[in-house]
Structure 1
Amino acid sequence: MSPIFTSGKLKGMFEIMNNAGLDMNKYIKKNLGQLESKEICSKYSTDVIAACAFAIKAHSFENENADFRKIGRAMFDFSWRNALSQTLYFLGHPAVNILRLNFFDSWTTNYLASAFWKTIKMREESGTKGNDLIDIIINMRKDKKLCEEIDFEGDKVVAQAVQFFAAGFETTSSTMAFMLYELCLHPEMQDKLRQEIMDSIKNNNGITYEGILEMKYLDMCVMVLRKFRKLSTR
């Protein structure tokens, strides 16, 4: 999956991410005083990943119970089912086979698989390009040598999209939420970062891929979150 993380591919998907940001702005303005930052970040990351990995508009900001948002909650919100199965996968794998446990609820992976194959079929029939994960996988499936070497069919294909969602959703939303928390604790940092962002918007006539790469203080604000990793390993 490494080709999707090249600078060219990320730049191509930037408009998708930016559109999700515009939806987030509208949601925040509409719900001032009734906001939970982690939930906002989860909605944003859900919309971005659904668009980039499945070419689907998830509508998380428009519908509190949007399908992709329900999947995110089912995968990562606490439940005794998740606690048992995911703990056993890491610490007691023989029991997983005996109890026939799935790492995630089967309905979540079945939904993602169905959505993924529908998008693949539509994209192959129309011949359109989306500069996203779907394009990468379609090209991989056309590589006969690769398909023979790694048996790139069925579950192995759809697993790439499911992994993209599972690995990207919670990590992105948690990082954003922790950063917002830190900025609330340090208003002087918040003011400095806001000024850098406003200057970038002015100089680049909006939020752009190049503009974000130039935001050194923004990068430092994200990097400071390593302190939580350091604390967790003590």
Structure 2
Amino acid sequence: METAADFEINYLERFGRDVTAAPPDALQPGMLARVLDEIDHGLLLLDLTGRILHANFPARRELAAARALRNGEGMLCAGNVASQAKIRQALKDAERDCRSIVELEDGEDSLSVAFIPLAAVHGSGTVDTVLVMCSRRPGCETLTMQMFARARHLTRAEQNVLARLCAGHGAEEIACLEGIRMSTVRTHIKNVRQKTGSSSIREVVHRVSRMPQIVSALRFGE
């Protein structure tokens, strides 16, 4: 009787595949870096001293903005002494294989950051690197918004108002930012709600916020 292993080998040989060849490693460093760049949360890999080993695109953008987080000669730094102390403590906790989440504040700006210890060898318990995950900034990626708007036949003006709503702006702020009347903002909101078949604009914003944040390849030229 043919065993399951025999069946698999025969099946692969029947379709001309080299069963002795090792499967290609799809997550080689270059590919993995590109995958991480497509994640809409800032991700950094640190050693236990806080030196930055890798940062994906959102993290690089966060560091370049130099608000709650910044790059200080290759080291992860905060915008003030109090937040810097939180980072140092989180790294100490990570060295003891403890996860933590800290709130970093810099003036009116704040950022939630998770510190996740990574063992050198899976299951060894010896931590040598730390994964840092940043909270998403408010708003929605432009390409995601454009695709959603096109699918729902929203006008450019309606799309702009929805983008402002997703960024946390109120109707009065939107009127000021877009240079339009409050009555026009209300009309756009009503049209967005009707075109998307939503019972409220809050529902629309919730739906958009849950969509995959598709990023444009053009951003890498920034």
| TM-score for both structures, normalised by structure 2 | 0.25
Higher relative contact order (CA 8 A, sep 6+): 1
| TM-score for both structures, normalised by structure 1 | 0.24
Q: Which has the higher strand share?
A: 2
**Based on CA coordinates, which of the two structures has the bigger radius of gyration?**
2
Q: Which has the higher helix share?
A: 1
